[in-house]
Amino acid sequence: MSETPRRTQVAIIGGGPAGLLLALILNRAGVDCVVLERRSREYVLSRIRAGVLEQGTTDLLRLAGVGARMDREGLIHDGFDIAWRGEVLHIDLRELSGGKTVMVYGQTEVTHDLYDALDAAGVPVIHEAEDATPEAIESDTPSVSFRTRSGGEQRIECDFIAGCDGYHGVCRQTIPKDRIETFEREYPFGWLGVLVRKPPIQEELVYAHHARGFALCSLRSPQLSRYYIQCRNGDDVKNWTDEAFFDELQTRLPDSIAANLQRGPSIEKSIAPLRSFVAEPMRYGRLFLAGDAAHIVPPTGAKGLNLAVSDIHYLSRGLVAHYQERDSGLLDRYSEDALARVWKAERFSWWFTSMIHRFEDDGGFGQRIQEAEFDFLASSRAAQTALAENYVGLPF
């Protein structure tokens, strides 16, 4: 144990986009903070994640001073397509949502931008901080103990702890089981995803429903495409050659869209299970949960990173008000305010997932309900407006 424990105002556990963005906003407001990340910087920057940003997310990134490269290189999307029974329904996001759009800009790029800004500001990010553990979170003097290869056992004393360490992180597990409630739904399938260095199948995303399962055509840049197909739980990427993947993807797309598919060797290939999960409240004592530490959504509605950013909006404004104005009202309402938006995003992600995927156990009745849902969506501007408003992101 180091002889003199370090002291900061906010200790942030987790160096993903949520933790890094919180650190940057706090630093800009004059609040002292430290980020602890158990992985190396290289590992964090190598993770392949989502790339669809809501307008609220892009607005907050600009406000934090990390929007310049995003605005130069990001791809604004005015809409997307839903393919069903050979038909293609276009959802015009800009028109239906009153001028709002989404931006395709990879989470890895967001993380790069945040690192660059934190480096310039001199905010400490301690990598390979192993076994980071919140302590005394019910007291007025919490701390975080951790271990590094170079410094051994260490401890940081602080006023508050932000748990941004993901679904499998330690922060949520620190809260006594009788003081937190969890809600969860696991879906009977996963997404097999492939990243390929080829131009996208079209400029905007395509969501496809097919008798063999769901498919998604997405992109990271004009020369980098990301494709997904629904697969069974327990499947293994070793069962899927690149050729088999693209054959299945092409089968699930309408001919008019599939004709534009450019195949290539996969850069990355992985399977992600789908689940909905919420833990509440998102605060216990001096510990605040944010991002995947508090909630998970299926990726269908592209809400994971965006929900983490909205959490940081609520948490940062509460912490800044506490330090700058000596007013803890917003901080005390953090969990309530954040969860109100979380549950709306959970509902939308569940609905979109339920409509567009193939559920084998639902039988003929379930399939007919899905068809009726799509027919209603295709024939109702009100239904399309609701979809668009949720997709571009509800207000913070």
pLDDT at 5: 52
Are 191 and 308 found together in one domain?
A: no
Are 251 and 337 found together in one domain?
A: no
What is the mean pLDDT of the segment spanning 4-13?
86
Q: Reply yes or no on whether 228 is catalytic.
A: no
Which tokens is 373 given? Answer: 């849902």
Are 179 and 289 found together in one domain?
A: yes
Asked if the structure places residue 107 within a domain, the reply is yes
- The answer to whether 97 and 395 are in contact (CB under 8 A) is no
pLDDT of residue 226 exceeding 60: yes
- Could you say which of 227, 284, 299, 313 is catalytic? 299
- Could you say which of 105, 314, 323, 391 is catalytic? 391
pLDDT at 168: 96
pLDDT of residue 311 exceeding 70: yes
Are 202 and 331 found together in one domain?
A: no
What is the mean pLDDT of the segment spanning 257-275?
96
pLDDT of residue 2 exceeding 50: no
Are 194 and 270 found together in one domain?
A: yes
Give residue 49's pLDDT band: very low, low, confident or very high (50, 70, 90): confident
Asked if the structure places residue 86 within a domain, the reply is no
Are 58 and 129 found together in one domain?
A: yes
Q: Reply yes or no on whether 198 is catalytic.
A: no
Residue ranges of the alpha helices (H) in the chain?
A: 17-28, 41-46, 55-63, 68-73, 93-96, 107-121, 170-174, 242-251, 255-258, 304-325, 329-332, 334-356, 363-379, 381-392
- Could you say which of 115, 187, 207, 323 is catalytic? 207
- The answer to whether 312 and 290 are in contact (CB under 8 A) is yes
- Could you say which of 17, 77, 228, 314 is catalytic? 77
For the domain that residue 219 is a member of, what is the CATH number?
Answer: 3.30.9.10
Q: For the segment 278-303, what is each residue's pLDDT rounded down to a tens digit?
A: 999 999 999 999 999 999 999 999 99
Percent of the chain with pLDDT over 90: 94
Give residue 4's pLDDT band: very low, low, confident or very high (50, 70, 90): very low
- The answer to whether 114 and 65 are in contact (CB under 8 A) is no
**Residue 251 vs residue 149, higher pLDDT:** 251
pLDDT at 138: 97
What is the mean pLDDT of the segment spanning 36-61?
91
Q: Reply yes or no on whether 299 is catalytic.
A: yes
Percent of the chain with pLDDT over 70: 99
Q: For the segment 150-194, what is each residue's pLDDT rounded down to a tens digit?
A: 888 999 999 999 999 999 999 999 999 999 999 999 999 999 999
Asked if the structure places residue 40 within a domain, the reply is yes
Residue ranges of the alpha helices (H) in 81-240?
A: 93-96, 107-121, 170-174
Least confident of 34-48, 59-73, 153-167, 185-199: 34-48
- Could you say which of 303, 313, 322, 357 is catalytic? 303
Q: How many domains does the chain have?
A: 2
Q: Reply yes or no on whether 77 is catalytic.
A: yes
What global pTM score does this model have? 0.95
Are 50 and 109 found together in one domain?
A: yes
What is the mean pLDDT of the segment spanning 77-85?
96
Q: What is the extent of the structural domain holding 315?
A: 6-77+102-183+275-351
Sign of CA dihedral 178, 182, 188, 190: negative
Are 168 and 241 found together in one domain?
A: no
pLDDT of residue 269 exceeding 60: yes
Q: For the segment 93-118, what is each residue's pLDDT rounded down to a tens digit?
A: 999 999 999 999 999 999 999 999 99
For the domain that residue 56 is a member of, what is the CATH number?
Answer: 3.50.50.60
CA distance 301 to 328: 33
CA distance 189 to 181: 25
Mean pLDDT (the chain) is: 95
Are 236 and 366 found together in one domain?
A: yes
Are 33 and 132 found together in one domain?
A: yes
pLDDT at 46: 86
Give residue 51's pLDDT band: very low, low, confident or very high (50, 70, 90): confident
Are 266 and 333 found together in one domain?
A: no
Asked if the structure places residue 95 within a domain, the reply is no
Q: For the segment 230-261, what is each residue's pLDDT rounded down to a tens digit?
A: 999 999 999 999 999 999 999 999 999 999 99
Q: Reply yes or no on whether 303 is catalytic.
A: yes
CA distance 21 to 12: 11
What is the mean pLDDT of the segment spanning 3-29?
91
